[in-house]
Structure 1
Amino acid sequence: MKKIFLICILTTLTACGQKKETTKETTKLAEETTNKKNLETITLGGGCYWCVEAVYENLNGVKSAVSGFSGGKNANPSYEDVSTGQTGYVEVVQITYDKTITSLNEIFQVFFTVHDPTTLNRQGADVGTQYRSVIFYKNEEQRLAAQNIINELKKAKIYDSPIVTAVEPFTKFYKADDYHQNYYENNKNQPYCRMVIQPKIEKFEKIFKDKLKNK
């Protein structure tokens, strides 16, 4: 009788333990699902992707900023291919952000602050169609948001020259080779990083100082 009673207790405890464990796993899965629902991606081209990536890596709410290529037709373009300016591809950064922390409008505000949207197929000394200013939208909400902020900037006459930023449907994103990722962080002493990227980061940090990630 005692043995039967002991077995019943052990069985009950095991079942309770499994239930608690299952509850934890269910809760964790629910949280992960919710977090994923809060994430959205937008793909932006604003000159050299090293610059754009370095800026967005510091914006609170951005989960990842990945350098790559969009806008062309041939599959699997290489950096060397895109650098010819003949492929139709643009150096872009695919930004994944948490909508509960930052917003698409804020993403665009940063975009139009840290690059010049009035120079066609160039940013500073970087010249070619691969450096053109472009927003690749994934849905109607992104398209409208992009067009609205461009219209507002034009109306406010923020720039002396016309905005040439294109708003185009997203088709495909190809990630650049690993050595292009986090380029600024890994090469801060390189002349290009010090002379081109660093000033953009400083400008961003000054204007959006209350939006920076805690480091």
Structure 2
Amino acid sequence: MTTAQATRNAITLKGSAVIISEYLNYGINSILFQRGIYPAETFENDQKYGLTILMSTDAKIKDFLKNVLTQSEEWLSKNELEKVSLVITNAHSKEVLECWEFLVQTEGGQENADPNNPTAKKELKRIQQEIGSVMRQISATVSYLPLLDCICSFDILIHTIKDCELPEKWNETNEVSIQNSQTVKLRSFSTGLHNVDTIVNYKLST
């Protein structure tokens, strides 16, 4: 049984943070594969949400994502995280080509909930089914997103509430902007404590 469930059918605030962090890990890896940011041979199959998802085997990428998502999970468990952005840029010109946004909203006025006590009774199976629907949509984006015909790099930005304490080696940054952009909103999912929207902004082909 997943650690996200402290008791039967009871999701805690910390458990909700675990579920979302896990989704971010699989979602970001899937995007990196689908968008061809790294060679296909550097990914391997993993089974999650009833799907086969391609996950990076590159140690540097795995460590980077682990560090970022561990911190994201901590902020989520305190209701201090508002959005995570995956920014894809042209490695040479530094132009932003795509920005995937994962927006988190607190549900049910749980800001002061005790992280150690169950606060939502949504079934984990249903949550994972909702996430699976989002993952299918992420895979389907290759049918309409412009081809990235240049060497690209990526970064992850975490947007928190104001006055949130930053860890060492973390710096504040500005919002990214894309010239001549188009926006597509994917499905959302809910843990019962948090609602997560997934949006992709991309540069239109010229």
Question: TM-score, with normalisation over the residues of structure 2?
Answer: 0.25
Larger Rg: 1 or 2? 1
Question: TM-score, with normalisation over the residues of structure 1?
Answer: 0.24
Greater fraction strand: 2
Greater fraction helix: 1
